[in-house]
């Protein structure tokens, strides 16, 4: 079952193919990052911190650099997961912000 990820406003911004999948994809199905430490921290394909999964939200915290996590290998094409709808507003956790890099240059 697809694990949809939203911003604090409830807008769909990313997804995983399942909650066990370590790869994160953008709304268009393109691979944008992965979870190298099998936790909630997502890094982009270059190994830089992208955000943290908190429930069904992808938010950014000021995280110290953990070192280069390596390259996981190409995850394959995820396809289009369907439209999950609107998740509703949820306040950000203390010290968090929305992952703005996923919104830049996108036509929602």
Report the range of poorest mean pLDDT among 14-18, 78-82, 102-106: 102-106
39 secondary structure, DSSP code? S
The pLDDT of residue 104 is 52
Residues in the chain: 108
Per-residue confidence at 105, pLDDT binned at 50, 70, 90?
Answer: very low
> How far, in Å, CA of 28 to CA of 38, rounded?
24
> How far, in Å, CA of 10 to CA of 85, rounded?
9
Q: Provide the mean pLDDT of the chain.
A: 89
Q: Residue 5 corresponds to which tokens in the numbers above?
A: 């990820």
The pLDDT of residue 103 is 62
pLDDT, tens digit, 9 for 90 and up, residues 16-59: 999 899 999 999 999 999 999 988 999 999 999 999 999 999 99
Per-residue confidence at 70, pLDDT binned at 50, 70, 90?
Answer: confident
The pLDDT of residue 100 is 77
Give the residues across from 53 on adjacent strands.
58
């Amino acid at each position: 079952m697809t694990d949809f990820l939203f911003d604090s406003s409830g807008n769909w911004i990313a997804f995983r193919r399942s909650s066990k999948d370590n790869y994160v994809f953008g709304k268009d199905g393109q691979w944008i990052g992965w979870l190298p430490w099998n936790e909630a921290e997502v890094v982009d394909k270059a190994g830089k911190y992208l955000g943290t999964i908190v429930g069904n939200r992808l938010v950014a915290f000021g995280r110290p650099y953990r070192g280069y996590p390596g390259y996981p290998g190409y995850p394959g094409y995820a396809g289009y997961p369907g439209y999950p709808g609107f998740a509703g507003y949820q306040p950000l956790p203390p010290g968090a912000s929305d992952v703005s890099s996923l919104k830049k240059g996108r036509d929602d």
